[in-house]
Amino acid sequence: MAAVQAVVGGEEWYSQPVMAKATAWARRETAPPPGVAGLTGREMEVLRLLARGWDNARIAEELVISEGTVKNHVTSIYAKLNVHSRAEAVAWAWEHGGMGERWN
Protein backbone atom coordinates (compact mmCIF):
# COMPACT_ATOMS: atom_id res chain seq x y z
CA MET A 1 0.00 0.00 0.00
CA ALA A 2 2.87 2.39 0.80
CA ALA A 3 4.32 1.81 -2.66
CA VAL A 4 1.04 2.67 -4.39
CA GLN A 5 0.57 5.79 -2.28
CA ALA A 6 4.11 6.96 -2.98
CA VAL A 7 3.80 6.46 -6.72
CA VAL A 8 0.37 8.09 -6.86
CA GLY A 9 1.88 11.01 -4.96
CA GLY A 10 4.53 11.42 -7.64
CA GLU A 11 7.34 9.84 -5.66
CA GLU A 12 9.60 6.98 -6.66
CA TRP A 13 9.42 3.81 -4.61
CA TYR A 14 11.80 0.87 -4.41
CA SER A 15 11.59 -2.31 -2.37
CA GLN A 16 13.83 -2.71 0.67
CA PRO A 17 16.19 -5.19 -1.08
CA VAL A 18 16.63 -2.86 -4.04
CA MET A 19 17.23 0.12 -1.76
CA ALA A 20 19.83 -1.84 0.22
CA LYS A 21 21.71 -2.73 -2.96
CA ALA A 22 21.35 0.79 -4.37
CA THR A 23 22.72 2.25 -1.15
CA ALA A 24 25.69 -0.13 -1.25
CA TRP A 25 26.70 0.79 -4.78
CA ALA A 26 25.97 4.45 -4.35
CA ARG A 27 28.52 4.31 -1.54
CA ARG A 28 30.86 2.33 -3.81
CA GLU A 29 30.81 -0.68 -1.48
CA THR A 30 30.31 -3.26 -4.23
CA ALA A 31 32.30 -4.13 -7.33
CA PRO A 32 30.82 -4.18 -10.86
CA PRO A 33 31.41 -6.71 -13.60
CA PRO A 34 33.85 -6.05 -16.42
CA GLY A 35 32.50 -4.16 -19.42
CA VAL A 36 30.15 -1.68 -17.82
CA ALA A 37 28.09 -1.49 -21.02
CA GLY A 38 30.36 1.13 -22.56
CA LEU A 39 29.41 3.89 -20.12
CA THR A 40 31.79 6.82 -19.88
CA GLY A 41 33.17 7.91 -16.54
CA ARG A 42 30.73 10.83 -16.42
CA GLU A 43 27.79 8.57 -17.30
CA MET A 44 28.80 6.26 -14.45
CA GLU A 45 28.86 9.26 -12.09
CA VAL A 46 25.38 10.25 -13.26
CA LEU A 47 24.11 6.67 -12.88
CA ARG A 48 25.56 6.51 -9.37
CA LEU A 49 23.69 9.70 -8.46
CA LEU A 50 20.50 8.42 -10.11
CA ALA A 51 20.83 5.42 -7.82
CA ARG A 52 20.81 7.80 -4.86
CA GLY A 53 17.45 9.09 -6.09
CA TRP A 54 18.76 12.52 -7.09
CA ASP A 55 16.88 14.58 -9.67
CA ASN A 56 18.54 16.23 -12.66
CA ALA A 57 18.88 19.60 -10.93
CA ARG A 58 20.70 18.13 -7.96
CA ILE A 59 22.95 16.02 -10.19
CA ALA A 60 23.77 19.10 -12.28
CA GLU A 61 24.66 21.06 -9.17
CA GLU A 62 26.83 18.27 -7.78
CA LEU A 63 28.73 17.73 -11.03
CA VAL A 64 28.81 21.45 -11.92
CA ILE A 65 27.14 20.91 -15.30
CA SER A 66 23.85 22.10 -16.80
CA GLU A 67 20.59 20.21 -16.38
CA GLY A 68 20.54 19.82 -20.17
CA THR A 69 23.88 18.03 -20.00
CA VAL A 70 22.53 15.76 -17.27
CA LYS A 71 19.52 14.97 -19.48
CA ASN A 72 21.89 14.13 -22.34
CA HIS A 73 23.88 11.79 -20.09
CA VAL A 74 20.69 10.12 -18.84
CA THR A 75 19.50 9.61 -22.43
CA SER A 76 22.86 8.09 -23.33
CA ILE A 77 22.77 5.82 -20.27
CA TYR A 78 19.30 4.59 -21.21
CA ALA A 79 20.42 3.84 -24.76
CA LYS A 80 23.60 2.04 -23.72
CA LEU A 81 21.82 -0.03 -21.08
CA ASN A 82 18.73 -0.55 -23.26
CA VAL A 83 16.40 0.73 -20.54
CA HIS A 84 13.58 3.29 -20.54
CA SER A 85 13.48 4.75 -17.02
CA ARG A 86 15.55 5.67 -13.99
CA ALA A 87 14.20 2.66 -12.15
CA GLU A 88 15.31 0.34 -14.95
CA ALA A 89 18.77 1.95 -15.05
CA VAL A 90 19.16 1.51 -11.29
CA ALA A 91 17.91 -2.08 -11.55
CA TRP A 92 20.42 -2.75 -14.35
CA ALA A 93 23.26 -1.48 -12.21
CA TRP A 94 22.07 -3.60 -9.29
CA GLU A 95 21.80 -6.71 -11.47
CA HIS A 96 25.29 -6.14 -12.85
CA GLY A 97 27.15 -5.85 -9.59
CA GLY A 98 26.67 -2.28 -8.48
CA MET A 99 28.83 0.77 -8.80
CA GLY A 100 32.14 -0.13 -7.19
CA GLU A 101 35.46 1.62 -7.60
CA ARG A 102 36.36 -0.41 -10.68
CA TRP A 103 33.67 1.62 -12.49
CA ASN A 104 35.65 4.81 -12.01
> What domains are defined for the chain?
15-103 (1.10.10.10)
Cβ(7)–Cβ(13) under 8 Å? yes
Residue pLDDT, tens place only, 47-86: 989 888 899 999 999 999 999 999 999 999 998 888 899 9
pLDDT at 34: 42
Residues 6+ apart with CB under 8 A from 81: 37, 39, 88, 89, 92
The answer on pLDDT for 10 being more than 80 is: no
pLDDT at 41: 83
Please provide the average confidence, as pLDDT, over all residues in the chain: 78
pLDDT at 96: 72
